[in-house]
Amino acid sequence: MEKFDVNILGCGSATPTLQHFPSTQVVNIREKLFMLDCGEGAQLQFRKSKLSFSRLNRIFITHLHGDHCFGLIGFISTLALLGRTGDLVIHAHADLEKLLRPQLDYFCRDNPFNVKIEPFAPEKNEVIYEDRSLTVSTIPLKHRIPCAGFLFREKEKEARLIKDMVEFYQIPIRDRVAIKQGADFVKEDGTVVPNAKLTKPADKARSYAYCSDTIYDEAIVPIIEGVDVLYHEATYTNNELPQATSRGHATAAQAAQIAKLANAGKLIIGHFSARYPDNRIFLREAQEIFPNTILANEGLCEKL
């Protein structure tokens, strides 16, 4: 199967610690890189993860709290130093334009590429990016300021041709696209070769949901139903549930409950509060509800 990896570059919350970097992830789909949030030190973590700066396609910012976007100006400056020339598109709340543009005009006025900010409405569930193999749609989240997660979903794939059968029946190139789309093959003498004899089922289309800062909200469940891997913030444990709710965050148990309701394949929890020196407390709490849970950690590469 072609590459679909989720790289964790940072999974801490707002208060800096020696344990974690702020929120940053990179989704690698067929060597095309998509950055999710951009906390401080993102360019350093990009290098540590051995990701290629030249393959960065777009950046998606969930919301405009500093631990999710303070790394942008440094990262953009690094791209310029490395010789990027192609435009960089950032999907974010419209306010990013007035916040980031003055920094770009001052620090990056000689950049060899343009930075384009494409705003989205965080309260809507809509497709904001699409190419021939992928869609990215927003997931409305409930935080203290407008916030949206992102759902990466592969498009349904065509069936795969069985090479030996193609050669045996000497199927012309002009007929192969139709066969991959489900057509039978008709030989010159009128004999019909069934499609099932010529193809293998397509690889399953994969999906990844990134749900950053949010309270517990079952409204997102229909949007992420059946997702292969779900990242859901788990800033607190249930012992601090009142504070989690008042601060616009979720607990590990709540993240697990969302994964369970959505029939997710796997849950990754992160955005850990600095008050917890041992993150295994989050894992124990989540696994009681959703056993297939793992902890986010810098350097983790989850392969879908």
Spell out the per-residue pLDDT of the chain, length 304, in tens: 799 999 999 999 999 899 999 999 999 999 999 999 999 999 999 999 999 999 999 999 999 999 999 999 999 999 999 999 999 999 999 999 999 999 999 999 999 999 999 999 999 999 999 999 999 999 999 999 999 999 999 998 877 878 887 788 788 888 888 878 888 888 888 787 788 887 788 789 999 999 999 999 999 999 999 999 999 999 999 999 999 999 999 999 999 999 999 999 999 999 999 999 999 999 999 999 999 999 999 999 999 9
26 and 153 belong to one structural domain: yes
Taking a C-beta distance cutoff of 8 angstroms, is the pair 146, 63 a contact? yes
Q: Which of 251, 210, 255, 212 is nearest to 228 (CA)?
A: 210
Which domain does 183 fall in, by range?
160-200
208 and 185 belong to one structural domain: no
Query: How far is the C-alpha of 137 from the C-alpha of 153, rounded, in Å?
Result: 8
Catalytic residue numbers, as ranges: 67
Query: How far is the C-alpha of 119 from the C-alpha of 105, rounded, in Å?
Result: 19
DSSP 12: B
- Structure-token pair, residue 86: 């192609």
120 and 218 belong to one structural domain: yes
Indicate the angle between helix axes 96-107 and 72-81, nearest 10 degrees.
40
190 and 214 belong to one structural domain: no
209 and 293 belong to one structural domain: yes
45 and 171 belong to one structural domain: no
Q: Which pTM was predicted?
A: 0.92
**How many domains is the chain partitioned into structurally?**
2
Q: Which of 111, 119, 24, 117 is nearest to 76 (CA)?
A: 111
131 and 213 belong to one structural domain: yes
72 and 171 belong to one structural domain: no
242 and 282 belong to one structural domain: yes
Mark which of 180, 200, 220 sits at the end of a domain: 200
139 and 214 belong to one structural domain: yes
Q: What CATH number does residue 83 fall under?
A: 3.60.15.10
